[in-house]
Amino acid sequence: MTQPRWRLSAALAGCLLTLVLLSAPGQSGADALDLPDFGSSADTVLSRAEQRDLGREFMKWVRKSLEVSTDPLLTDYVQALGHRLVRASRETSGRYDFFVVEDPRINAFAGPSGNIGVNAGLILSAETESELAAVLAHEIAHVSQNHLLRRFAAQKQMTVPATALLIAAAVLGAAVDPQAGAAALMGAQGALVQQQINFTRTNEEEADRIGIDTLARAGHDPYAMPGFFKKLTQANRVYESGAPELLRTHPVTSDRIADALARAERFGPNQKPDSLRFHLTRAHLREQSYNRAEQAIDHFRDTLRKDRYRNETAERYGYARALARAGRLDAAAKQLAPLLEQHPSQVEFLVLQSQLDRRRGDADKAVRDLKGTVGLAPGNWPLQQAYAEALLDAGKPAAALATLERLIGLRPDIAPVYGLMADAAGKAGEQAAAMRWRAELLFRSGDLKPAIRQLELALRQPGLEFHQAAKIQVRLDELQAEEHRREAKR
């Protein structure tokens, strides 16, 4: 039996708790778990800027503790699904960011400032797109109703970084990096934090009510929410390591399932077909869950031979990806060709074809094939990044940089793109621009001071044109003002 290639961390939440204690000088042990008084709404105590700070600090710990996917195809699909739900909801406003965690456990979580993570294991366990949408809608409701922040109401003040650290320790539980901090505290302290983070029955019922309404308004099956949680509860008895992580932080009772079913009945069933992207995303995750490419090849070859799949197109896509990972490029292209013929504009197929061409040493073909398509989809992250990567391989870094600059002009919050932009600028001989985009990547990863240093270095580059210097100076002023504001709050 093959094993997933994701590595599971064995550290305890106490690692992060220890850091909270170390980062809060002057606090006694009794005060170590105190958090800001958020009240019934985060806006009553924290400004929007402070909420963004809390979200960035939280995500910094998430990235240190978990394997957050930077794959454009996976992330873009989850973001597209999540934002469709946000637009359909009656209750939501503000910023939401959805991301995939490469972890086989069944879990999803909501953090400060609308950061919502979903594990690969949960996506693979969802048999329909409505089931996946149900979990996202539920987490969106937790954010919109400030359930996470309300759990820490009526506490004393604490710095935003320390608050984010404690929330991360509580939300992520045992899934923290063993190198994240000092020695773990006693298990009882970890249990105390977990008790604080678990949502109450009232929270869960409210998230169910709002989530089911959102599902129905978005065109998904409202029965998917009680159905998925019931399925997880029934499967619980066969899990060797106990309940799925999702059930640990979102306790499910028979009464809660019954209430959710009653709410779903008000809307009636909506058995809409799953999108092709849902099936392709699951095939993508299934393929990369195997340690070795040959294991993935055996899996997809076997399911195709026995007709054991939910969607043949997606199964052949997974097979093509496995062949490509094994270096069997001609075989992968043979599997991909009919898929492209049937779905000539499908982003997953276009990106894989571009990758195959580049690996064969024909980056110019990849550029030609994508050129027309990217012009019709200026905000499509996977396509624009694939085009920029092909341009880089074809020895055209300036054109690659221009492509990515147009993309972030439309979608400035796609953090991974900034690293590619810095690489393209460096290869184009534009060192100041490389430092500018590296600074942006650092800032969006929560590293404000290093970002400021990069911009200061960029301004010292020889031969810097006036308009470039002006843009860098404006951004430097913004980040320095941000630093001063944060320091004033400490």
pLDDT in tens, the chain (490 residues): 444 444 333 333 333 332 232 333 333 333 333 334 344 455 555 677 778 888 888 898 899 889 999 999 999 999 999 999 999 999 877 789 999 999 998 889 998 889 999 999 999 999 999 999 999 999 999 888 887 766 654 444 567 777 777 777 777 765 544 444 433 333 334 444 444 545 677 788 888 899 999 999 999 999 999 998 888 776 554 454 455 566 556 666 778 888 889 999 999 999 889 999 999 999 999 999 999 999 999 999 999 999 999 999 999 999 999 999 999 999 999 999 999 999 999 999 999 999 999 999 999 999 999 999 999 999 999 999 999 999 999 999 999 999 999 999 999 999 999 999 999 999 999 999 999 999 999 999 889 999 999 999 999 999 999 999 999 999 999 999 999 988 887 6
Q: Are 436 and 458 a contacting pair, CB within 8 Å?
A: yes
Is 53 one of the annotated active-site residues of the chain? no
Q: Which of 139, 206, 245, 393 is catalytic?
A: 139
408 in any annotated domain: no
233 in any annotated domain: yes
4 in any annotated domain: no
Domains of the chain: total: 2
Q: pTM (2 decimals)?
A: 0.85
Q: Which domain holds residue 438?
A: 430-490
- Out of 235, 265, 295, a domain closes at 265
- Out of 203, 230, 265, a domain closes at 265
Is 208 one of the annotated active-site residues of the chain? yes
Rounded Cα distance between 384 and 371, Å, is 10
155 in any annotated domain: yes
59 in any annotated domain: yes
473 in any annotated domain: yes
Closest to 71 in 3D by CA, of 34, 120, 24: 120
Summarize the annotated binding site for Zn(2+) as residue ranges: 138, 142, 204
- Out of 265, 297, 313, a domain closes at 265
Summarize the annotated binding site as residue ranges: 138, 142, 204
Phi and psi for 139 in degrees, rounded to 5?
-70, -35
Q: Are 453 and 476 a contacting pair, CB within 8 Å?
A: no
Q: Which of 102, 129, 131, 208 is catalytic?
A: 208
9 in any annotated domain: no
142 in any annotated domain: yes
Rounded Cα distance between 465 and 194, Å, is 54
